[in-house]
Amino acid sequence: MPNTPLTILLAAPRGFCAGVDRAIQIVEVALERFGPPVYVRHEIVHNRFVVQSLEAKGAVFVDELTQVPDGVPVVFSAHGVPKAVPAEAERRGLFYLDATCPLVSKVHREAERHHVEGRQVILIGHAGHPEVIGTMGQLPAGAVLLVETVEDVARVAVADPDNLAFATQTTLSVDETAGILAALQERFPAIAGPRKEDICYATTNRQQAVKAIAPQVDALLVLGAPNSSNSKRLVEVAKGAGCTRAQLVQRAADIDWSALADVRRLGITAGASAPEVLVEEVIEAARARFDVTVEQVRTATEDVVFKLPKALTDAPTPSQGGVANA
Ligand code: SF4
């Protein structure tokens, strides 16, 4: 088998986006500046490998703010949080760092603006995803209506069809969302919203790169977590673009290589929360079984970088008086 040729088509861009990079850096810099423990509400990004690496450095992941003791810093995840969360942190006098991706925060501010201007907001997204919970939680309960499918659009009951706006989750399928949006605009021609949707550059670019390689490969692996929205969408996009044998894998150890024995061209990509080391691990595992040639297929170049929050860079370190409060 090691003599069997295998060409790997590596999608680019893949893996970490600017929002994930920033969120992980916030935890790492907080650990350096303040020392462990640094608490993190929810997985900072949806990747077990990332979470475990940060835990090894002293981060403590919890589900709710009630699990955070007084006097320690707490970070909110990249997906964003309902307004009630920072409000509660302030009430308790906690020092908190908000790692919400700036592109998610932008959606929050837009939803608020529409609400202030009297429009009911229809959010296209997946129920229960932390980003959707965070975006809906920017406005009073009931002010945001969620639609997940074209069928939902037909059913949604609005207060005034002439006073609506839409927003979207940032990690949706571009093509699927276009269909839902078209249905919304057909039913509510006066609906306001962004020029296209709120799907972020990283999600769009990763989907485009997958579309470019999917028709050229026998099978395709997406490195990503089962709860990572953008990773799951990459599998769907690959299937939609002609690669029926697309699957999500968390890391090399999860791959059933016997099921890939007949594959001569293998596509690989990674969701926005999956570190490159996991891609390298898969290529190494393939090299142990095949005579591997790697070709990178780049469809876009990314140079987006987000600044760290001032609350982190300006905060006094413990030797300067601690972090007892912001
Ligand atoms: Fe931000 Fe997009 Fe990355 Fe989400 S996937 S963290 S919205 S850049």
Ligand 1: centre distance to CA 324 (Å): 30
Q: What is the pLDDT of residue 318?
A: 64
Q: 324 pLDDT exceeds 50?
A: no
Which domain-ending residue is among 143, 162, 187? 187
Q: 326 pLDDT exceeds 70?
A: no
125 and 171 fall within a common domain: yes
Prior bond to 13 cis, omega within 30? Answer: yes
Mean pLDDT estimate for the chain: 95
Q: pLDDT tens for residues 89-108?
A: 999 999 999 999 999 999 99
Which domain-ending residue is among 127, 156, 187? 187
Q: Which residues line ligand 1 (CB under 6 A)?
A: 17-20, 78, 101, 103-104, 170-171, 200, 202-203, 230, 272
The CATH number given to whatever domain includes residue 138 is 3.40.1010.20
| Nearest atom (ligand 1) to Cα of 230 | 5
131 and 97 fall within a common domain: no
3-class DSSP state for residue 256? coil
Give the integer Cα–Cα distance in Å for 13 and 11: 6
Q: What is the pLDDT of residue 319?
A: 67
Q: What is the pLDDT of residue 325?
A: 44
Q: pLDDT tens for residues 21-58?
A: 999 999 999 999 999 999 999 999 999 999 999 999 99
Q: What percent of the chain has pLDDT over 70?
A: 97
- Is 195 contained in some domain? no
Which domain-ending residue is among 162, 187, 212? 187
Q: pLDDT tens for residues 133-183?
A: 999 999 999 899 999 999 999 999 999 999 999 999 999 999 999 999 999
Q: pLDDT tens for residues 241-293?
A: 999 999 999 999 999 999 999 999 999 999 999 999 999 999 999 999 999 99
- Is 193 contained in some domain? no
- Is 164 contained in some domain? yes
- Chain mean position to CA 241: 22
Q: Catalytic residue positions?
A: 131
239 and 219 fall within a common domain: yes
What domain range is 61 assigned to? 18-102+306-324
* Non-local CB neighbours of 260 within 8 Å, separated by 6+ positions: 219, 266
Ligand 1: centre distance to CA 238 (Å): 20
Domain count, the chain: 3
156 and 223 fall within a common domain: no
Ligand 1: centre distance to CA 17 (Å): 6
Assigned token pair, 1: 């088998």
